[in-house]
Structure 1
Amino acid sequence: MKMNWGTGIVLVFVGFATIMISMVRICMKQDDLHLVEENYYAETIRYQSHIDKVGNTQERGQQVMQQLPGQAALQFALPAGASGEVHLFRPSDARLDQRLSVAGTPTEEAVVLPLEGLKAGYWKAKLTWQLGEQAFYEELSIHL
């Protein structure tokens, strides 16, 4: 059987259309996609506040959050009277994210937060804290 050019071109277009429709159907069936932020557009409006917090932290010149070497724990050295929140952020699965409150101790001793219950892998710890009227922000990458 001999095919002419017209039949070959039609078969190529039909094959391409079939592959494209199949790919679209596969993509539409996925339900485990997670956005980095639920309210992305509202977050962009508040971004200047975030820039100010980062600037305050850089002016202060001292980090208050660190991962303890060889341990699954974070250490916070917040000044007395400071309080804040740490967001344990899992980029690969938003369902594992956690938010915890932290506060400075009157004696300014470091507070240790164990991380044993977290799933192994890559995490980001995002610390937002406030001392008086000034707000601060720190971020730390963690590998458990």
Structure 2
Amino acid sequence: MKINWGTSIVLAFVGFISFIMYFIITMNVDKAYDHELVTEDYYGVELAYQNDIDRLNNANTLSENVSYKKTKDGLVITFPKGLDYKTIKGKIILYRPSSKQLDFETPISLSDAHLLVKDKRLLDGRWNLRIEWEYQGKPYLFKEEIHL
């Protein structure tokens, strides 16, 4: 059987379209290629971004900002000295970019200037640390990418 150039072009297009469709179906069905949104309400979070900028600016006006240190017990978060730690309220959010199931949020409850996040919840790798806290009615924010 002899194939002319018109048939060859049609077969090439059909082969190319089949190849592309295979990859589209594989990427949508296979769990190994699972893709998650960074946040469920992406646009709502972006609209509230100015609040984050204001909170970061408030934190930058402090003489000392929040700090953290990895210890054998976990992640120790230290709040600025000179503040009445009993009146600090807020939450600590640890976000794992590679897996939504590992994300967690912890309320801030201080008995001294330090807060310990237990090591059993923290796997090695990259985390985004976000500390939203309030002191004397003024909101503050500390966020940083950390590697454990």
TM interval, short-chain normalised: 0.7 to 0.9
Equivalents in 2 of 1:115, 1:61: separation in Å?
A: 29
- Whole-angstrom CA distance in 2 between matches of 1:64 and 1:40: 27
Q: CA deviation at 1:129?
A: 0.3
Match of 1:11? Answer: 11
* Cα 1:18/1:74, change in 2 over 3 Å: same
Counterpart-to-counterpart distance in 2, 1:51 and 1:8: 59
The corresponding residue for 1:50 is 52
SS in 1 for 2:121: coil
SS of residue matched to 1:116: helix
Secondary structure of 2:50 counterpart = helix
Partner SS, residue 119 of structure 1: coil
Q: Kindly tell me the number of residue pairs found equivalent between the two proteins.
A: 142
Contact 1:68 1:74 survives alignment (8 Å): yes
Q: Provide the C-alpha distance between the structure 2 equivalents of 1:129 and 1:44, rounded to a whole number of angstroms.
A: 19
Give ranges in structure 1 of 5+ residues lacking alignment: none
Report the RMSD for the aligned CA atoms in angstroms: 2.2
CA contact (8 A) 2:74 2:116 kept: no
Shift, 1:114, TM fit: 2.7
Instruction: Report matched runs for 1:1-144 at 5 Å.
Output: 2-30=2-30, 32-68=34-70, 72-78=74-80, 79-80=83-84, 81-105=87-111, 109-144=113-148
Stretches of structure 2 lacking an aligned partner (at least 5 in a row)? none
Given that residues 74 and 115 in structure 1 are in contact (C-alpha distance below 8 angstroms), is that contact kept between their aligned partners in structure 2?
no
For residues 113 and 24 of structure 1, the distance between their equivalents in structure 2, rounded to whole angstroms, comes to: 41
The amino acid across from 2:99 in the alignment is: D
Q: TM-score, normalised by structure 2?
A: 0.82
Consecutive aligned runs of 4 or more in structure 1 exceeding 3 Å deviation: 68-72
Distance 1:51 1:30, change over 3 A: farther
One-letter code aligned to 1:95: Q
8 Å CA contact retained: 2:77, 2:116: yes
Contact map agreement 1:77 1:104 (CA 8 A) in 2: no
Given that residues 66 and 140 in structure 1 are in contact (C-alpha distance below 8 angstroms), is that contact kept between their aligned partners in structure 2?
no
% identical aligned pairs: 27
Asked whether the 8 Å contact 1:122–1:142 carries over to 2, the reply is yes
**Cα distance in 2 for residues equivalent to 1:132 and 1:75:** 20
